[in-house]
Structure 1
Amino acid sequence: MILTRRVALATGVACAGLAACGQADRPLYAADAQAIDYPTTKAVEEMGRLLDERTGGRLRFKVFGGGQLGPERDTLEMTIFGGLDLNRINTAPLNPIAPETLVPALPFVFQSVPHMRAAMDGEVGRAILESLEPHGLKGLCYYDSGARSFYNARRPIREPDDLRGLKIRVQNSDLYVSMVEAFGANATPMSFSEVYGAIAKRVVDGAENNWPSYYTTRHFEVAPYYTLTEHVMAPEVLVMSMRRWRKLSDEDQALVQQAALDSVPFMRNLWDARVAEAKAAIAAAGNEVVTIEDKAPFRAQMEPVYERFVTPKLRPLVEAIQATEVPVA
């Protein structure tokens, strides 16, 4: 990874601050690009609270939420080079670093949210986290990022052919572009902040995202058709700089790891509450929500995507996810 001038300056300033504080008594610095009241940011704060409580204040956090330290790609570089201790990051910026992180973002690789959680909490999830270590990152745990589904302003989507010809906004990702094009739709990479206006002006017909994002961005006002394809359930990842991790004692490493794992159910409870709130609001708005009972026809359209992105090295991870059993509630 090339250290940009901007990130180099930020990292240098951060490292200088750390040195001034002294390694023994300074807090662990953590970043999250999401807002300070977002479930992931609150979960990082909860992890810090747990560490503070369990160590009598010896290990504590200072969390920079709301993108205070820049976008995720910048804070990721800072974490790798030691300017940040911890970082909540989306899987997309990690894909060029560790190809294994692409696997949880594959369309329809998970059957459901409980299946995703079981797989990521198990051996396959740990294997993906461990793939980050040679690249300067210690993967600690996964947070939810929701189940992404299609919404648009033109028509309800009940089968794959209903997507054909629609212009769908996607993230600037080869994987997402390939996925949408495999449905016969026109993928349009675009900044998330531009989506509302683009749908309202018919620059694009729709987009895809989870329940809370569909609601809080008010995209539901301009795209009244929401189809629960739940095609991608890629989780978020909480990582720690290996430079900082190696400076911890074995005992402190165990404390940090356990506090991270203990923050996961806290985050998921917050996330599930947000999903329920969004569902109720969309129902009250009168939008047409289409539930897809049989996703096999949609999944079948993804064969060219898997052929392109699933290398022989990644295939065992995909198969391990598919073989993961969902615990009975």
Structure 2
Amino acid sequence: MMHFSRLAGAALTAATLMMTAASAQTVLRSSDTHPDGYPTVEAVKYFGELVKQKTDNRYSVEVFHSAQLGQEADTVEQVRSGVIDINRTSLGPWNGLIPETTIPSLPYIFRSSDHARKVMNGPIGDEILASFEPFGVVGLAFYDGGSRSFYNTKKPIESADDLKGMKFRVMQSDIFVDMVGALGAAATPMPYGEVYSGLETGVIDGAENNFPSYDTAKHAEVAKFYSLDEHLIVPEVLVMSKASWEKLTPEDQTAVKAAAKESVAKQWELWDAQVQKSRAAVEASGSKITSPDKQPFIDAMKPVYEKWVTDPKLKDLVARIQATE
């Protein structure tokens, strides 16, 4: 009897190990630079729950938040090479690689967040997602990255002229370098994780981002002047490594895409709540918020468009985005 129970126990242990190994193979690793609880992190977790449901538990998603797998520029390379399965980043780090991503990254291309959501969650957005595939990744969905505005440690920004001579951190994207230069300021490309110390030590005078990032990254502690110029509404993108994608059956590929699209509304809901909460928090902590006239900012962007929108295909994309009501 003991011999039998030992055998049975060994068989059960082997079966458990096999099940564990099988389930481990189904875990898709996803990267995000933002902290736990941030709207994009929570939206990708929700996407993971939907993936689980739609694939009958064959796949799950583990979200590595807070840049555990690296800053965005690093994770772009990791997802392309298949080191990580899924990545949520801003569109900025893709600009040098995929020409179509430069268009939604242009300053003042969108009239409002609602306009950006309509464009990026419709046929134009699907067209831009398809442009990722030749570069080793599959575009799944676009999230709302909010309106980005300038903030600094020195003074309130009452007009576009107030930026002249100041040094601002930007994402590692040449478009954003040109945008800041067009306003007479100096751009310093820098990983997101280095911005706080850059502001604190005076390496940079300011940066630019949305209210949730300004709040959750604690930049409001060291840069008290926030200007609502809303120069960028850069979408966030959720992508999957092509190497990981090709391991899925066609049915599971359909399920993953459907889960990504379904997670968008959840991200919007979380985003809107976080914007309100973060704005209230930074105002309560003493940040001074100004609302300069946007037209001089818009007018200053003419050379940026002239440099970056030369291809007829991209000009057509600009026209179709601007024509979307």
Q: Same fold (TM over 0.5)?
A: yes
Equivalent position of 1:252 in the other structure:
252
2:181 maps to amino acid = E
Q: Is the 8 A contact 1:25 1:58 kept in 2?
A: no
Equivalent position of 1:5 in the other structure:
none
In structure 1, what is the Cα distance between the partners aligned to 2:217 and 2:236?
Answer: 20
Equivalent position of 1:318 in the other structure:
318
In structure 2, what is the Cα distance between the partners aligned to 1:46 and 1:169?
Answer: 32
Structure 1 residue 203, shift from structure 2 partner: 4.2
Q: 1:28-177 alignment to 2 at 5 Å?
A: 28-177=28-177
In structure 2, what is the Cα distance between the partners aligned to 1:224 and 1:75?
Answer: 31
The reply on whether 1:308 has 2:307 as its aligned counterpart is yes
Q: 1:147-296 alignment to 2 at 5 Å?
A: 147-292=147-292, 294-296=293-295
In structure 2, what is the Cα distance between the partners aligned to 1:78 and 1:197?
Answer: 26
Equivalent position of 2:297 in the other structure:
298
Superposed CA RMSD in Å reads: 2.4
Unaligned runs of 5+ in 1: 1-19
Q: TM-score, normalised by structure 2?
A: 0.85
Q: Is the 8 A contact 2:23 2:58 kept in 1?
A: no
Q: How many residues align?
A: 305
In structure 2, the CA distance between the partners of 1:166 and 1:79, relative to structure 1 (3 Å rule), is closer
In structure 2, the CA distance between the partners of 1:37 and 1:316, relative to structure 1 (3 Å rule), is same
In structure 2, the CA distance between the partners of 1:162 and 1:44, relative to structure 1 (3 Å rule), is same
Structure 1 residue 193, shift from structure 2 partner: 4.2
Cα deviation, 1:10-62, whole Å, max 9, x if unaligned, reads xxxxxxxxxx9569962333222333322212211111111222333123223
Aligned residue for 2:207, secondary structure, equals: strand
1:295 maps to amino acid = K
Equivalent position of 1:7 in the other structure:
none
In structure 2, the CA distance between the partners of 1:216 and 1:70, relative to structure 1 (3 Å rule), is closer
1:296 maps to amino acid = Q
In structure 2, the CA distance between the partners of 1:34 and 1:279, relative to structure 1 (3 Å rule), is closer
Q: Is the 8 A contact 2:170 2:176 kept in 1?
A: yes
Bigger Rg, which one: 2
In structure 2, what is the Cα distance between the partners aligned to 1:105 and 1:77?
Answer: 20
1:297 maps to amino acid = P
2:239 maps to amino acid = V
1:227 maps to amino acid = S
Q: TM-score, normalised by structure 1?
A: 0.84
Unaligned runs of 5+ in 2: 1-19
In structure 2, what is the Cα distance between the partners aligned to 1:302 and 1:109?
Answer: 10
In structure 2, the CA distance between the partners of 1:219 and 1:267, relative to structure 1 (3 Å rule), is same
